[in-house]
A and B are shown apart, each in its own frame.
Chain A
């Protein structure tokens, strides 16, 4: 578990560094595509089935924003 946390922290730091890379406003057209949303894409029973059939819960808190389109 500690190894996993370290991995996540490392990925986070890498991502944070990458996030400093400037992406100009006019370069963000692709990011406005509906499939690029940082939110979860699921309809119907998808989430409910996972909640019931998997012992794990939670995960990606705080998805959203960042696409530069909304």
Chain B
């Protein structure tokens, strides 16, 4: 067979005229007017107008049923022929060429006058011709020509056939794809109806409705009664099934934006009714509430025929530290002040924090301390001011082994401590003042200080400087500050100067470097501490480290003066703290170097690795190492000189304080922070538990050479 290109008009007639032909199929015929024949013919007509355009499978089954009725009731040959022709058309459309030809052959056998309707496809005509051997019998055969193999027509036919096949085999996505491809080549109401059918069964009701409506339009244009009838029915059915969504916007939000499945929804149409497919849908909205960004993000599972009302309620960002809304806000920020506005924790006018903790200490020298404490602060992040205070109570079992005999009985004396702080930082510059007092029966200390700070280089560099003054009174026994001591003893003035700079090194790293200087003036000698003296030649050089009390008492001289320290001490320290955020953890490392005019040098290293195991749980290990030399007047065994007249000469400076001796200390422990409630809630509260074990080795000391201490705290804090 020679295939030649078809004109566009012929394409319409050949490929898309199936429905039009149905009228011919069911209308004139040569059938008798018998009632049974009429009923069957009417049923066939209905099948070919309602099912055949979009549902070939059901159409075939119904036609087979009608054929069964026909054979059973002995209907006329014309009706039988019509049924076979209809079955042949359906088979042809389903790509079942052999079956189509068999049906057409049966049609010809039943009714020699059987013929295809005028809108039959070229494939049908060819099959019909082959089956009946009568090309000229095919209606309209003279004016219709075969489709072109290489042109768009052939491709459209092929795609349409593939779509039908996919439909039959349940591959609806492929059916949709093929029908759409066919429609791109040529718009066809029946193909569009078939597309609508596949989309409808695939849950794409909105698309199905659009395509059914488009098919109806085309049917009306072409005056195709079959298409119009089926399309109307389908449109009505889809309108009934399609679910709808509408939105209730939040009041007073000027910059609201709403997205439905990532597609923007026009604000002026929010309250209208939107047709949507059944299934899951996501609604995301953003806008400013009281000047701060807030979001709405919800998913809905919409059922067929359902009408869903989405009430948009903008909430503060739900994440602990940063959210997509905050990131977007920050991206739009042009300065650090703009960034601050993106952070919800800064939005409250007043923030109140309160905490209580209980600490305990115990060591191998039989010293135990219990310290309950409370603190509270009120701050206004927006106005920049803050005030706060704290109180603690120390209950101590004993001081140290070498002075315990003259100290108070265990837990009969307490140290009370308290402090107040207040600050004001309305912008880039601020000041913080503080005052504190510590009081026990034989020791009081008063401290006051001020610190100034500035935010430079868009808060990437923050220098601070500070000054503090302390006045200490050291007594012996209850309230015995003035009576038992002269002016030189028991009074200590300390002037402190501090300076530091914090650098933002990267988006995940902060470095603080700083230093302090303290200038102590006064006698801070311990009034309970007696210093044993030894013969300089025969005993002192041989006193061992850690000599027992018994050995010291047996070998020391009768004289036993009180401790005497120099009355001036200048202390200097410099160091750095580096914080690095690594995914869900923060590494904090500190290093300090220390030197003073008593000759003590020290190095302290401290590290924590704080891991956020969840939004509510943070744990960390803690390590600390400290090493120091002794002060330059420190001796393991001091010597006293006796002169022949009975006089005695003792060293000017002498101490038994092991913390002024060379020592090394290692500390290991950790902590856990449990956030209770929701971190983004109005009230935040949590529990912090820390504990450490500290081991100290004294390299040059009487009585004690090592000490192991255990201490820890349990704290509860709340912020609202």
A and B are interacting partners: yes
Which segment, of B212-220, B521-529, B539-547, B573-581, faces chain A?
Answer: B573-581
Q: Binary interface profile of A, 12-39, with partner B (CB < 8 Å = 1, else 0)? A: 1001101111110111111111011110
Q: A28-B339, A62-B463 are in contact. List 20 more A-B contacts (CB 8 A).
A: A30-B581, A35-B586, A35-B588, A35-B618, A44-B713, A46-B713, A49-B711, A55-B600, A56-B594, A58-B516, A58-B573, A59-B604, A60-B500, A60-B513, A61-B466, A62-B451, A63-B500, A64-B464, A66-B502, A68-B336
Of B335, B463, B601, B712, the residue contacting A25 (CB under 8 A) is B335
Contact A29 B712 (CB under 8 A): no
CB interface residues, B 307-359, toward A, < 8 Å:
321-322, 326-327, 330-331, 333-336, 338-340, 343, 346, 357-359
Contact A29 B604 (CB under 8 A): no
With known contacts A11-B576, A45-B359, A45-B713, A62–B321 Cβ distance under 8 A = no
Contact A25 B502 (CB under 8 A): no
8 residue pairs, one from A and one from B, having the closest CB atoms: A61-B498, A62-B500, A44-B713, A65-B462, A66-B502, A26-B330, A58-B516, A62-B464
Q: Does B221 contact A (CB under 8 A)?
A: no
Contact B586 A36 (CB under 8 A): yes
Q: Does B659 contact A (CB under 8 A)?
A: yes
Which chain A residues border B405 with CB–CB below 8 Å? Answer: none
Which chain B residues border A65 with CB–CB below 8 Å? Answer: 453, 455, 459, 462, 464, 502
Q: List 15 A-B contacts (CB under 8 A).
A: A15-B501, A18-B511, A23-B507, A29-B321, A33-B581, A38-B512, A45-B371, A58-B516, A61-B498, A62-B499, A62-B500, A65-B459, A66-B459, A68-B336, A70-B340
Q: Does B696 contact A (CB under 8 A)?
A: yes
Q: Does B154 contact A (CB under 8 A)?
A: no
Q: Does B461 contact A (CB under 8 A)?
A: yes
Contact B515 A61 (CB under 8 A): yes
Q: Does B380 contact A (CB under 8 A)?
A: no
Contact B381 A70 (CB under 8 A): yes
Interface of A is mostly: loop
Q: Does B373 contact A (CB under 8 A)?
A: yes
Which chain A residues border B373 with CB–CB below 8 Å? Answer: 44
Which chain A residues border B496 with CB–CB below 8 Å? Answer: 58
Q: Does B595 contact A (CB under 8 A)?
A: yes
Q: Shortest beta-carbon distance, B385 to chain A, in Å? A: 13
With known contacts A26-B339, A46-B690, A67–B510 Cβ distance under 8 A = yes
Contact A19 B503 (CB under 8 A): yes
User: Chain B residues in contact with chain A, CB under 8 A?
Assistant: 321-322, 326-327, 330-331, 333-336, 338-340, 343, 346, 357-361, 369, 371, 373, 381, 451, 453, 455, 457-466, 496-508, 510-518, 571-577, 579, 581, 586, 588, 590, 592-595, 600-602, 604, 608, 610, 618, 626, 628, 631, 659-660, 663, 665, 688, 690, 692, 694, 696, 709, 711-713, 715
Contact B504 A57 (CB under 8 A): no
With known contacts A62-B501, A66-B460, A4–B574 Cβ distance under 8 A = yes
Of A19, A57, A58, A61, the residue contacting B505 (CB under 8 A) is A19
Contact A55 B602 (CB under 8 A): yes
Distance in angstroms between the alpha carbons of A55 and B601 in the assembled complex: 9
Contact B610 A35 (CB under 8 A): yes
- Which chain B residue has the least Cβ–Cβ distance from A1? B595
Interface of B is mostly: strand
- Which chain A residue has the least Cβ–Cβ distance from B465? A62
- Which chain B residue has the least Cβ–Cβ distance from A4? B593
Which chain B residues border A38 with CB–CB below 8 Å? Answer: 462, 502, 510, 512, 577, 579
Q: Shortest beta-carbon distance, B347 to chain A, in Å? A: 12
Contact B594 A29 (CB under 8 A): no
**Most B CB within 10 A of own CB, among A28, A44, A54, A70:** A44
Which chain B residues border A19 with CB–CB below 8 Å? Answer: 457, 460-461, 501, 503-505
**Most A CB within 10 A of own CB, among B464, B502, B712:** B502
Contact A23 B330 (CB under 8 A): no
Q: Which interface class (under 10, 10 to 19, 20 to 34, 35 or more) fits A?
A: 35 or more
Contact B602 A54 (CB under 8 A): yes
**Most A CB within 10 A of own CB, among B326, B327, B593, B694:** B593
Q: Shortest beta-carbon distance, A12 to chain B, in Å? A: 5
Distance in angstroms between the alpha carbons of A68 and B512 in the assembled complex: 14
- Which chain B residue has the least Cβ–Cβ distance from A44? B713
Distance in angstroms between the alpha carbons of A19 and B457 in the assembled complex: 9
Q: Shortest beta-carbon distance, A7 to chain B, in Å? A: 8
Q: Shortest beta-carbon distance, B614 to chain A, in Å? A: 14
Distance in angstroms between the alpha carbons of A49 and B694 in the assembled complex: 10
Distance in angstroms between the alpha carbons of A32 and B346 in the assembled complex: 11
Which chain A residues border B357 with CB–CB below 8 Å? Answer: 43-44
Distance in angstroms between the alpha carbons of A25 and B298 in the assembled complex: 29
Which chain A residues border B515 with CB–CB below 8 Å? Answer: 8, 58-61
Distance in angstroms between the alpha carbons of A57 and B517 in the assembled complex: 9
Q: Shortest beta-carbon distance, A56 to chain B, in Å? A: 4
Which chain B residues border A46 with CB–CB below 8 Å? Answer: 690, 692, 713
Distance in angstroms between the alpha carbons of A51 and B505 in the assembled complex: 30
Distance in angstroms between the alpha carbons of A70 and B586 in the assembled complex: 19
Which chain A residues border B464 with CB–CB below 8 Å? Answer: 61-65
- Which chain A residue has the least Cβ–Cβ distance from B455? A65
Contact A55 B327 (CB under 8 A): no
Distance in angstroms between the alpha carbons of A2 and B360 in the assembled complex: 39
Which chain B residues border A18 with CB–CB below 8 Å? Answer: 503, 505, 511
Distance in angstroms between the alpha carbons of A58 and B596 in the assembled complex: 11
Which chain B residues border A23 with CB–CB below 8 Å? Answer: 460, 504, 506-507
Q: Shortest beta-carbon distance, A51 to chain B, in Å? A: 10
Contact A31 B504 (CB under 8 A): yes
Which chain A residues border B626 with CB–CB below 8 Å? Answer: 54, 56
- Which chain A residue has the least Cβ–Cβ distance from B508? A30
Contact A53 B665 (CB under 8 A): yes
Contact B659 A53 (CB under 8 A): yes
Distance in angstroms between the alpha carbons of A21 and B709 in the assembled complex: 44
Contact B690 A44 (CB under 8 A): yes
